[in-house]
Structure 1
């Protein structure tokens, strides 16, 4: 039986965070608010927990979840390299609605699905999410919905879809934005000079990205193949209206 905590109530906040940490430590799933939409989260380094996350959503390994982090230092530990232009993007738009795909650190022992050696990383601008990330480390987080349904913008919508597949629900109130993050592919900047591609437009606009990247931002081309035949991260062009949290 899942538990729900209203984190707007000071008497429920600390118990809710404690139970969420315990659930993550046991390899279970939680739902938490983010600055975009509600997300379903799992320990990124627990293959069983990530598999449970994909199963709860009705997704396969071909749609690996993005990973939320507490900041740039954690990102550096997860990716092979952080190119200068990516650091500029992080400085400008993190914490916030920008998910960045880079080659993953090859020494990491994790299994997010069929990532083809990449990882999609974001730092959210939401206090509950950031507190859990600080205490629990990187979390695999996907939008809190079943495949084929819109991403939940409140905890009750998430619970209606995910039910008891999630151990703990943290209610931070309705999402004030409800706009999923923008996903960009920056893998071409590592060991090469291929431009950054937008895989999905969202909270951060193309104009905002252009302000930082200039000529390093590829022109819009919806018919272009995914970068390097890489992973179809949830929310990037793929079957179904899914969203990365």
Structure 2
């Protein structure tokens, strides 16, 4: 399975075969065409997908997730040509697309076609968030469908995002007309989001395409940015039921410690025994879920370095803990 999650030249693919709900890719396309919801794998996390232009289908996503209506959704398309059919790209947006697509980068740009991504999906904004996923099977379904697909993470709003097919079914399988099993997600955290608006490029949400990766293509990023144009920016987000405590040196009474690095905590609960940030990102949401199933008094998480991919990991942990740093 070609799923390495690399930010450049990503060609991540999914496992073949029917899902537990008996879905084939063709059946998933048919379900989308009927206005149904489909659990769809990507290289980042599993998504709950629907026709981006079908307001009723988008409403069904919000209802299934319990998601705030003001939170915009990302339109997933098969290629950069389709992206420019719905968004207005300048030279820097095109440079980013060329460098990182297919892959885990979302570009927020002025909307071109308001019908193909409905107002509700865009949260009424004059911009649209768009990406070309790196998962081959996801792109195959989207290409066969022939329209943009919104696919927010297939979790109930505020919960850890699902990175396995089983977790996606547990979270929102009740609402899905079909589901595609693409194997474990290679990246494990949601896509990086950058805005390219009014000649300025700003990082709205960190991810596996790092700040340094982006600046190598377009130069220094603007500080700040309009965070409301990006999904996943709520102060409390990605949270399990148990309270999360970050930058913990040890577990408190009744807590499970998610360690990071050599000799920190129990091996079962280590995000990465070797201190590898990509391994930690891939394990993060799965381990939060597994620890939560043990009904601990809390989940403590060891310090994770903030450089590179660590910026995205710490962003998710801060939101899981209930604050934005």
The TM-score range, normalised by the shorter chain, is 0.7 to 0.9
Q: Which ranges of 4 or more aligned residues in structure 1 deviate by more than 6 Å? A: none
Where does residue 218 of structure 2 map in the other structure? 213
Where does residue 151 of structure 1 map in the other structure? 161
- The 2-side partners of 1:146 and 1:11 are apart by 21
Aligned length: 223
| Structure of higher CA gyration radius | 2
Where does residue 74 of structure 1 map in the other structure? 82
What secondary structure sits across from 2:198 in the alignment? helix
Does the 8 A contact of 1:98 with 1:204 survive in 2? yes
- The 2-side partners of 1:232 and 1:11 are apart by 33
- From 190, 196, 202, the equivalent of 1:197 is 202
Where does residue 190 of structure 2 map in the other structure? 180
TM-align CA RMSD: 2.4
For structure 1, the residue ranges without an aligned partner over 5 or more in a row are: 1-5, 190-194
Where does residue 174 of structure 2 map in the other structure? 164
Does the 8 A contact of 1:32 with 1:170 survive in 2? yes
Judged with a 3 Å threshold, the aligned counterparts in structure 2 of structure 1 residues 120 and 233 are, in CA distance, closer, same or farther, namely same
- From 98, 109, 119, the equivalent of 2:105 is 98
Cα deviation for residue 108 of structure 1 reads: 2.9
Cα deviation for residue 7 of structure 1 reads: 5.5
Alignment of 1:85-164 (within 5 A): 85-105=92-112, 108=115, 110-111=118-119, 112-136=121-145, 137-164=147-174
Where does residue 41 of structure 2 map in the other structure? 33
What secondary structure sits across from 1:37 in the alignment? coil
For structure 2, the residue ranges without an aligned partner over 5 or more in a row are: 1-13, 239-284, 286-325
* TM-score, scaled to structure 2: 0.64
- The 2-side partners of 1:22 and 1:135 are apart by 10
- Superposed CA offset, 1:20-42 (max 9, x none): 11110110100011011111100
Does the 8 A contact of 2:79 with 2:132 survive in 1? yes
* Greater relative CO, 1 or 2 (CA 8 Å, sep 6+): 1
- Superposed CA offset, 1:164-220 (max 9, x none): 21111111111122121100111222xxxxx211111101000001101114x114x
- The 1-side partners of 2:48 and 2:210 are apart by 25
* TM-score, scaled to structure 1: 0.84
Does the 8 A contact of 2:18 with 2:24 survive in 1? no
Does the 8 A contact of 2:23 with 2:180 survive in 1? no
What secondary structure sits across from 2:193 in the alignment? strand
Judged with a 3 Å threshold, the aligned counterparts in structure 2 of structure 1 residues 11 and 181 are, in CA distance, closer, same or farther, namely closer
